[in-house]
Amino acid sequence: MDFNLPQELRMLKRSLRGFVDKELIPLEQKFRPEGEEMPQDLLGPLQEKVKAMGLWMLDVPQEHGGAGLDLLTRCVIAEEVARTAVLPFRGNELFGPEVRPVLFHCNEEQKERFLFPVIRGEKRVCFAQTEPDAGSDPANMKTRAVRDGDHFILNGTKRFITGAGSADYAQVMAVTDTEKRARGGITCLIVDMKSPGVNLDRHWPTMMGDAPWEIVFDNVRVPAANVIGTVGEGFTLAQKWITEGRIRGHGARPVGIAQRALEMMIDYAQQRVTFGQPLSERQAVQFMIADSAMELHAARLMVYECAWRHDRGEDIRNLAYMVKVMCSEMAGRVVDRAIQIHGGVGLTKDLPLEWWYRQVRSIRITEGATEVLRWRLAQNVIKAHKR
Ligand SMILES: Cc1cc2nc3c(=O)[nH]c(=O)nc-3n(C[C@H](O)[C@H](O)[C@H](O)COP(=O)(O)OP(=O)(O)OC[C@H]3O[C@@H](n4cnc5c(N)ncnc54)[C@H](O)[C@@H]3O)c2cc1C
């Protein structure tokens, strides 16, 4: 048993650490995203540098010109780049256009229409699953797609859809069989956002700066040729993608954030003197550092193990629940302690801590609230115990 990352991943981690320290962290004083994209004059040169490192379109298969990296490698990358607050928390395009993996299930004809234009950066796509009455429980969605000849007629409302305002297409999850629902009755359709009947109803500004959209579909005619995968397969495709996202975005990323917050709290505790002694000499402060180091270590091991098992083709559903709950809650506590140790300056916008505090709060809710994941985990653990 070897708890070390393979040699090539350790090298990649080290070179990315240098890149983030030298190229990204210094930009934090210039740009701190509040929902907006990184300006092209900052993003363009950075993209050229990561391309030169061979890091471009990380999850896109090699046959389509991407790096086709496994999940463990993508987790290591996500962890390292999360150490800076200069990249947008949602819609980060440092490593190329955001391709939503459900698109990888396009057939050859659909790849030409949807996947390749997204990969080339010509078109954008959003993912529309959540509804006003179905967030944690997407199987209960109301949006219906009813077959009408060689089209589906789509009706319903999707809420909190990131990037819908600038998307050319939406990957919409809709019920095609009310009996089967999550078990073969939910289908993924690509909807052209310019179709008659697609209305961006409103957007919802949030504490993180993002403002996801509400989309209303009113008798929208969607060609049957726009079904991704097979009719009824959409829920399974989306859940697989969301599970991967949980490990990388809600597991590895909070680990990277907590790593930098820990580094910052140690640096500050050593330099800040109160009552004649550096803060780092106080046991109350040392305990905050020790707790953060311990929790971070445990969370990082969980992420690496889970990603490694995923790449070996193992069923990692329960591990993914654990990773998201542990990492999102851990990062919240570590960032909170870092703010506490910095005192008043920790609350200011000079430091990235307040930004992370707001961003990290959101991932205990998005893509699966932690209560729901605990509940699912408990169900599975209890069931396995009964066998
Ligand atoms: C910034 C942002 C971006 C988003 N982007 C997208 C996107 O691009 N596409 C998309 O489809 N969706 C998106 N979402 C939606 C997001 O995934 C949902 O908000 C999330 O799944 C929670 O659903 P909900 O808000 O309806 O909460 P609800 O389902 O109403 O749950 C509310 C709370 O109830 C509790 N709860 C719920 N069920 C249980 C249970 N069984 N046991 C115990 N407690 C429970 C939890 O504490 C939960 O936080 C986004 C949301 C935000 C805020």
- CATH number of the domain bearing residue 373: 1.20.140.10
pLDDT at 185: 97
Same domain? 241 vs 223:
no
**pLDDT score of 386:** 84
Does residue 216 sit in the same domain as residue 240?
no
Question: Quick check: is 286 in a domain?
Answer: yes
**CA-based Rg of the chain, rounded to a whole angstrom?**
22
Q: Is 37 helix (H, G, I), strand (E, B) or coil?
A: coil
C-beta of 372 in contact with ligand 1 (< 6 A)? yes
pLDDT, tens digit (0-9, with 9 covering 90-100), for 203-213: 999 999 999 99
Mean pLDDT of the chain: 96
Same-domain check for residues 33 and 134: no
Domain, as residue range, for 90? 7-103
51 assigned to some structural domain: yes
Q: Given 210, 228, 246, which residue is the final one in a domain?
A: 228
| Domain containing residue 11: CATH number | 1.10.540.10
Asked if 242 and 144 sit in the same domain, the reply is no
253 in the same domain as 382: yes
Q: Which of 175, 207, 228 is the last residue of a domain?
A: 228
| Mutate which of 126, 137, 158, 160 for ligand 1 pocket (most atoms within 8 A of beta carbon) | 160
52 & 18 share domain: yes
pLDDT confidence of 1, banded at 50, 70, 90?
confident
CATH number for 183: 2.40.110.10
**For residue 132, how far is its CA from the centre of ligand 1 (angstroms)?**
10
Q: At 297, list the tokens.
A: 């270590």
Is 2 within a domain?
no
Please tell me whether residues 312 and 343 are part of one structural domain: yes
Q: Exposed (0-12), middle (13-18) or buried (19+): which is 287, by Cβ within 10 Å?
A: exposed
Q: Write out the two tokens for 323.
A: 């990773």
Q: Would you give the DSSP letter of residue 215?
A: E
Q: Is 112 contained in some domain?
A: no
Calculate what percentage of the chain has a pLDDT beyond 70. 100
The domain tally of the chain equals: 3
Instruction: For residue 70, give both structure tokens.
Output: 């496994």
Q: What is the Å distance from ligand 1's center to 134 Cα?
A: 8
> Does residue 316 share a domain with residue 199?
no
Boundary (domain end) residue, out of 103, 131, 150: 103
Confirm or reject: Cβ of 131 under 6 Å from ligand 1: no
Task: Say what the pTM is.
Answer: 0.97
Is the CB of 206 inside a 6 Å radius of any atom of ligand 1? yes
The answer to whether position 108 is within a domain reads no
Question: What's the average model confidence in pLDDT over 301-310?
Answer: 98
136, 166, 325, 375: which to mutate for ligand 1, most atoms within 8 A of CB? 136
Q: pLDDT tens digits for 220-266? A: 999 999 999 999 999 999 998 899 989 999 999 999 999 999 999 99
Residue nearest to atom 20 of ligand 1 (CA): 366
Question: What's residue 354's pLDDT?
Answer: 98
Eight-class DSSP state of 140 = G
The verdict on 182 and 80 lying in the same domain is no
Label residue 150 exposed, middle or buried (CB < 10 Å: 0-12, 13-18, 19+). exposed
187 touches ligand 1 (CB under 6 Å): no
Q: Give the pLDDT band (50/70/90) at residue 100.
A: confident
Active site residues: 367
Residue at 113 is within a domain: no
Q: Check: CB of residue 130 under 8 Å from CB of residue 157.
A: no
> What does the buried/exposed string (b/e) look like for 305-339 if buried means 16 or more CB atoms within 10 Å of the residue's CB?
bbbbbbbeeeebebbbbbbbbbbbbbbbbbbbbbb
pLDDT computed for residue 77 by the predictor = 98
Looking at the fold, whether 356 and 255 belong to one and the same domain comes out as yes
Kindly tell me if the per-residue pLDDT of 387 is higher than 80: no
Looking at the structure, do residues 355 and 250 belong to the same domain, yes or no? yes
Q: Are residues 247 and 363 in the same domain?
A: yes
pLDDT digits (tens, 9 = 90+) for 103-162: 999 999 999 999 999 999 999 999 999 999 999 999 999 999 999 999 999 999 999 999
In a domain, 216, yes or no: yes
Classify residue 179: in a domain, yes or no: yes
For 19-167, strand residue ranges (E) read 125-128, 144-148, 151-161
